[in-house]
Amino acid sequence: MDPLYIVELSVAVADGSNLEPADVFDRLTRHAADWLERGVEGVSVDFAKSDRVELPARRGAYEFTRAVRWSVTEAGGLRALQGVMSQPIEDGGGARFICEFTIFQDVGRAALRVELGRESVDGLMSPVTVDAVRRPGFLGAALRDPDLQFTYQGQIVDGRYEWINSPQAALVPEVIAVEQRLPILLVDGGDPAAKTLGHYAASQLSGLAQVLLVDRRAQSEINEYLDSIGAPLQHNCARLIWPVLNTRHPEFWDLDRSERIVSILMKMVAGVSVAARGTNRWRVLAASKERQVREQAFEAAIAQAAAAGDKSAEVEALRTELRSLRDENEQWVEEVDRLTVTAETVPSLHNQIAYWKAEAQRAFEAAGSAAGANWSEAPSLDADDLGALSKFLEGASAGAIVFTAAAQRSWRKCGYPHIEAMGDALVRLAQAAADWRNSGCDTGMTMKAWFKTKFELNYSPEDEPLRKNKSLRDKFEYDGVEYSREPHLKLDDHVKPNEVGRVYFALDTEGQRFIVDHVGLKLYGV
């Protein structure tokens, strides 16, 4: 299985519950059976009576079979259920979606581990995107059980967000400073969409991240600390704070896009969870305990048969042990195969880690250079000369924005009357260029929404009249590469022709920069 997501939680009886600690295992297995039986008629899952079942299932018009197999270990005071649910991926070319779950209980402790992943068949390369990963219903049902309490490294995991008001604000830096914690998603509680995003994120990211909604007053009290770690929480934004503080903490805007934001977050934190959770230690403990109990029973049977002089009993005990060893060997062969597949992915993971470290360093250096600029020192835009301002913006943004010779010419004598407004727009465009580069050219939303919400700029990604008018240039060349000049900023519309301001520029994702090719009036209709 190619793992995509791992959640591992400690489980205990909730305060005030009448549930007996010894019954935690049975309660969790009941949740697992209910989840597997959802939408299925005439077939049930009984972990005590068999070790596999095939369940007919449907998703809309798509009908498929959900295959489930499991093994139960009961040795001394230890109980463990290890299950695997497998179902085909719709339009996946034969690939299967896998959910492995382990329910473990020993004296004084209990745990739940859920792994999601994919398997290809016959070597067929048919990837499933991480966007398809959602918190399994089994985990959701267990978290909603009022008799159970789930924790990760001492942190309560309940699938709900927490409000941070002024009285709790002082605790936020202390919580963030703890390295052995889950990532924390801070959300501007003053945004109208905050509760919707908070609810959905806390639900889907249960066991992967904590979600805190911070009201505006509390934000003002903690932003000095957040600034110090490079993670300020701005109005109408959300910020993911990693446990390692000297890394980039991604920011999200346009909070009413809850599904898109959570999809991006899932991609970020689920991959990290696979590396962080590692080998299934509960599986290893269960196998070790079972082997220990079996060996003790074998030794007792041999000793009893020897004392009685019963050779046939000795032989039967040896045969029983041989059968057990063969079964165990088959299980370990399967485990070796699984680990072999995992080991084969390690070089690729190392390469990915190296790549993202380099990207993080590049982003940090770029951000540091741009962040060091004092944008308020930008010179005023001259009515006939773009040179001084464009030179400052190119330097302040560390090359995230550049101006072509055509842009310089277009501004001269164009007659656009609102010079101060144009200068302000160009400064904000340069800030946007630096931020776009810092985000790896991925704003997490549409560029139009990003420009508007973050920089209060009116952006359009295309200009159909420009593209269709053969007398106009909809493309330009810069550094030997051809770019589209359709993307543009709109300063005014529905005004006199000589007041319709435009800035046409290309988005160069390879060079991670904006290339401005026209500053002045609209290119047509004036």
Amino acid at 398: A
Measured distance CA(474)–CA(471) in Å, rounded = 10
Measured distance CA(126)–CA(120) in Å, rounded = 7
Distance of CA 258 to the CA centre of its chain: 13
pLDDT given at position 357: 46
Query: Is 393 in contact with 401 (CB distance < 8 Å)?
Result: yes
Amino acid at 133: V
pLDDT given at position 356: 43
Nearest by Cα to 128 from 278, 270, 275: 270
- Contact partners, residue 3, CB within 8 Å, separation at least 6: 115, 116, 117, 274, 342
The reported pTM is 0.61
In the chain, which stretches have pLDDT less than 50? Answer: 126-131, 348-371
Measured distance CA(405)–CA(388) in Å, rounded = 13
Classify the C-alpha dihedral 223-228-230-231 as positive or negative.
negative
Amino acid at 186: L
Measured distance CA(238)–CA(254) in Å, rounded = 9
Query: Is 489 in contact with 425 (CB distance < 8 Å)?
Result: yes
Instruction: Output DSSP code: residue 313.
Output: H
Query: Is 233 in contact with 239 (CB distance < 8 Å)?
Result: yes
Phi, psi for residue 360 in degrees, rounded to 5 = -65, -40
Measured distance CA(32)–CA(26) in Å, rounded = 10
271's enclosing H/E stretch is helix 258-277
Measured distance CA(164)–CA(142) in Å, rounded = 26
- Contact partners, residue 426, CB within 8 Å, separation at least 6: 381, 389, 390, 393, 503, 516, 519
Instruction: Report angle CA 182, 186, 191 to the nearest 5 degrees.
Output: 155
225's enclosing H/E stretch is helix 216-228
For residue 234 the two structure tokens come to 């701005």
DSSP secondary structure string, 168-183?
HHTHHHHHHH-SSS--
354's enclosing H/E stretch is helix 311-371
